[in-house]
């Protein structure tokens, strides 16, 4: 178990995903400073806000999150930072601690169970085709802007399941379900279920 600074947001960061941040709240500016002063690579936990707002506190927060490793940090002025972080691994929140002054949580790593099941590569390829088809429909409706030629995924099937979860045209609640899935096969099963509803809605709107 470890105590980690946390940055709850209205979005979900997945392992392998990129998180650009504009930090201006005093409590999170202090978090950035504290992370930079730590002995190890500067990182923090990111979780989904389930109720409430990003600014000001008083929000309700999810219990599964992702460790975000800061790879670019720029001080825009004395009161703002521009940060780029990448998701590196999942964490489970055991307990939220008092914000002092920023959110803190007692966390454990939350690795995937059965990370290399048989036939995963075949399942990934099939779901990749569904995600690209859904994206094409969403683009036709103007919901998203994406270059389908740039929707390639990792060769590693486990990593690819997270890439598909990031690419799919779905909302934060569904993306959180994918983050919380026990392992890669379960993640693909949840994504296929979510895509059933997404495809039906997109086809209805296009008809």
Helix (H, G, I), strand (E, B) or coil at 78: coil
Pair (89, 152) in one structural domain: no
The pLDDT-based confidence of 204 (bands split at 50, 70, 90) is: very high
State yes or no: pLDDT of 38 exceeds 90: no
Pair (28, 125) in one structural domain: no
pLDDT of residue 59: 76
Burial of 52 (0-12, 13-18, 19+ CB in 10 A): middle
- For the segment 95-111, what is each residue's pLDDT rounded down to a tens digit? 999 998 999 999 999 99
- Name the residue range of residue 181's domain: 120-206
Bridge partners (DSSP) listed for residue 95:
106
Pair (25, 70) in one structural domain: yes
Pair (98, 139) in one structural domain: no
- Look up the CATH number of the domain holding residue 24: 2.30.130.40
Chain centroid, CA 127 distance in Å:
19
Instruction: Give which of 162, 156, 152, 153 is closest to 188, Cα–Cα.
Output: 162
Count CB atoms within 10 A of the CB of residue 108: 12
Overall average pLDDT of the 18-33 stretch: 92
- Number of domains present in the structure of the chain: 2
DSSP state of 202: H
The percentage of residues in the chain with a pLDDT greater than 70, rounded to a whole number, is 97
Q: Are 93 and 63 in contact (CB under 8 A)?
A: yes
The token pair at 124 is 């990934």
Q: Are 140 and 35 in contact (CB under 8 A)?
A: no
Count CB atoms within 10 A of the CB of residue 94: 13
Is 181 inside a domain boundary? Answer: yes
Bridge partners (DSSP) listed for residue 32:
none
- For the segment 55-103, what is each residue's pLDDT rounded down to a tens digit? 666 678 999 999 999 999 998 888 889 999 999 999 999 999 999 899 9
Overall average pLDDT of the 11-37 stretch: 93
Q: Are 95 and 106 in contact (CB under 8 A)?
A: yes
Q: How many helices (H) does the chain have, and how many strands (E)?
A: 5, 6
pLDDT of residue 58: 66
Pair (71, 141) in one structural domain: no
The percentage of residues in the chain with a pLDDT greater than 90, rounded to a whole number, is 79
pLDDT of residue 88: 95
Q: Whole-model pTM?
A: 0.90
Bridge partners (DSSP) listed for residue 46:
66
pLDDT: is 55 or 113 the higher one? 113
DSSP state of 41: -
The pLDDT-based confidence of 122 (bands split at 50, 70, 90) is: very high
Q: Please provide the average confidence, as pLDDT, over all residues in the chain.
A: 92
pLDDT of residue 3: 93
- For the segment 159-195, what is each residue's pLDDT rounded down to a tens digit? 999 999 999 999 999 999 999 999 999 999 999 999 9
pLDDT of residue 56: 61
């Amino acid at each position: 178990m470890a105590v980690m600074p946390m940055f709850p947001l209205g979005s979900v960061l997945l392992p392998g995903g990129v998180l650009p941040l504009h930090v201006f709240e005093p409590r999170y500016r202090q978090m950035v400073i504290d992370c930079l002063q730590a002995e190890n690579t500067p990182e923090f936990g990111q979780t989904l806000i389930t109720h409430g707002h990003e600014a000001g506190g008083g929000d309700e927060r999810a219990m599964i999150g992702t460790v975000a490793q800061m790879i670019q940090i720029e001080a825009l002025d004395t009161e703002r930072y521009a940060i780029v972080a990448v998701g590196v691994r999942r964490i489970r929140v055991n307990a939220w601690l008092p914000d002092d002054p920023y959110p803190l949580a007692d966390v454990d790593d939350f690795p995937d169970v059965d990370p290399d099941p048989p036939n995963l590569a075949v399942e990934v390829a099939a779901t990749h085709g569904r995600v690209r088809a859904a994206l094409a429909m969403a683009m036709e409706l103007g919901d998203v802007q994406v270059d389908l030629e740039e929707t390639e995924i990792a060769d590693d099937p486990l990593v690819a399941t997270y890439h598909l979860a990031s690419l799919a045209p779905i909302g934060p609640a569904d993306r959180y379900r994918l983050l919380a899935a026990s392992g890669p096969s379960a993640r693909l099963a949840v994504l296929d279920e979510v895509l059933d509803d997404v495809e039906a809605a997109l086809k209805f709107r296009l008809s």
